[in-house]
Amino acid sequence: MFTSSAPVVRKVRKGLSSDALYELVRNAFGQLPDHRHQKASIPLADALSSAFAMFSLKDPSLLAFDERRNDQNMKTVFGIGQIPSDTQMREILDPLEPDRLRPVFNDVFRQLQRGKALEPYVFHDGCYLLALDGTGYFSSNKVHCDSCLEKKNKQTGEVTYQHQMLGAAIVHPDHKEVIPLAPEPIQKQDGSTKNDCERNAAKRLLRKIRQEHPRLKLLVVEDGLASNAPHIRDLLELGMHFLLGVKPGDHAFLFDQLTEAFEQDHVTTMSWKEGDVTCEIGFTHRLPLNESNQDLLVNFLQYAEYAADGHRRKYFTWVTDLRITRGKARHLVRGGRARWKIENETFNTLKNQGYQFGHNFGHGQQNLSVVFAMLMMLAFLVDQTQQLCCPLFRAVWKKLRTKRALWDNLRSHFRHFVFTSMQHLQEVILHDLAKELPAPPLDTS
């Protein structure tokens, strides 16, 4: 029985509670074709669910996860039939093509759409802001696999092996949660000896996103690296709007045109005060992106902040295909600045808030490192969905204050008591009911 002082939790949105999401992910894993030829003793879905559980519980290593093999909560909470050993998990997942996991992300995304949870993320004219950015998560001089990027030190000849990925997430300036889509590995492509790069990965990723979400209206936000003509033409061809950073150093021709536009009074400006700070927006339309692509015209938007002494303390500049008006300019500036959420709320959360992104769970010879990174991103998507939609999750987080404390409590409860579901476990943490639970039977194996 809950005590009367216990916090009241509103009803969890159907289909978006932790247990409903775990079931959705498990069913999606069950739909994936098994890449192994001979009849395997451990189903692929169980191996994938086990790795997903490892990242959901934020286990620090595959070895730590291995200690859960006899834990009956693995069956009741995550619905896993047969739990592989750490060696079996590596062997099963290493040959798996990482792209096979994309439909699982899409299933969660569609559940968010069905639950109307994405509606508050519409940013402008029916469009969602899609932030893209690359990050590295593995680097070694020794450990490597077929898909590692290779960097050779010109002086010493020493080779560094790396893994990077291009992340994509729906973001909104008013919302802390981000909705990651399936990322694109930046890796050596099949049969190629050449290194891959973020630009090629973006080309592949945007095509996949368009194929998977043919009618999704998107406004793509990226940093200055993306403001090149081939990429912008790609975006337009895929029916995606863009709002991309530009830098005076990299786009000298564009900024010369801007100076000219200012001189001819073709730039609309507006300014306002926020305390001592003066904020200023300027925009103009139809400037050529660069000298060699003068047919590619873009609209230009800039935002600056000046301290009381006149010193410019912030300056941001973007190009876009959207028509900018006085009424829309401030909103677009907020959208452009929300790009940092892919770095801060996505990659930094994965690196610093218990997800162990960048840690080595086992590298494999083919795809294991990439498959693990994708599954970690999937666990993050499910966590973000719970944070966004599940009042019970939010209440537990609020009670424990930090994500780290939340994951620590989750793991220790999971280890020491028997639960019927994740909701059961979360309710026990929320209402301090652990002492009333029966202890699990002693492990005599």
Contact residues for Zn ion (CB under 5 A)? Answer: 145, 148, 369
Nearer to Zn ion, 94 or 427 (CB): 94
Question: 274: part of which helix (H) or strand (E)?
Answer: strand 268-274
Nearer to Zn ion, 145 or 243 (CB): 145
- Rounded to the nearest whole angstrom, what is the least distance from the CB of residue 271 to Zn ion in the complex? 51
- Rounded to the nearest whole angstrom, what is the least distance from the CB of residue 147 to Zn ion in the complex? 5
- Write out the two tokens for 306: 């000046």
The letter for the amino acid at 174 is: D
Q: How far is CA 111 from the centre of its chain?
A: 17
Please tell me the distance from the alpha carbon of residue 101 to that of residue 106, in angstroms, as a whole number: 9
Torsion angle of alpha carbons 99, 101, 103, 109, nearest 10°?
A: -120
Nearer to Zn ion, 79 or 185 (CB): 185
The candidate with the shortest Cα–Cα distance to 180, out of 373, 392, 401, is 373
Nearer to Zn ion, 145 or 378 (CB): 145
Please tell me the distance from the alpha carbon of residue 379 to that of residue 22, in angstroms, as a whole number: 10
Nearer to Zn ion, 73 or 369 (CB): 369
- Write out the two tokens for 338: 């929300």
- Rounded to the nearest whole angstrom, what is the least distance from the CB of residue 173 to Zn ion in the complex? 36
Nearer to Zn ion, 145 or 254 (CB): 145
Nearer to Zn ion, 166 or 171 (CB): 166
R_g (Cα) of the chain, nearest Å: 24
Contacts 24+ apart (CB under 8 A), 7-14: 7/395, 7/399, 7/430, 9/391, 9/392, 9/395, 9/430, 10/391, 11/391, 12/389, 12/390, 12/391, 12/392, 12/423, 13/115, 13/117, 13/389, 13/390, 14/115
- Rounded to the nearest whole angstrom, what is the least distance from the CB of residue 184 to Zn ion in the complex? 16
Residue 425, CA distances (Å) to 199, 268, 413, 416 in order: 43, 56, 7, 11
Nearer to Zn ion, 335 or 364 (CB): 364
Torsion angle of alpha carbons 383, 369, 72, 103, nearest 10°?
A: 60
- Rounded to the nearest whole angstrom, what is the least distance from the CB of residue 143 to Zn ion in the complex? 7
Please tell me the distance from the alpha carbon of residue 26 to that of residue 52, in angstroms, as a whole number: 9
Nearer to Zn ion, 231 or 363 (CB): 363
Please tell me the distance from the alpha carbon of residue 317 to that of residue 122, in angstroms, as a whole number: 23
How many residues in total does the chain contain?
A: 445
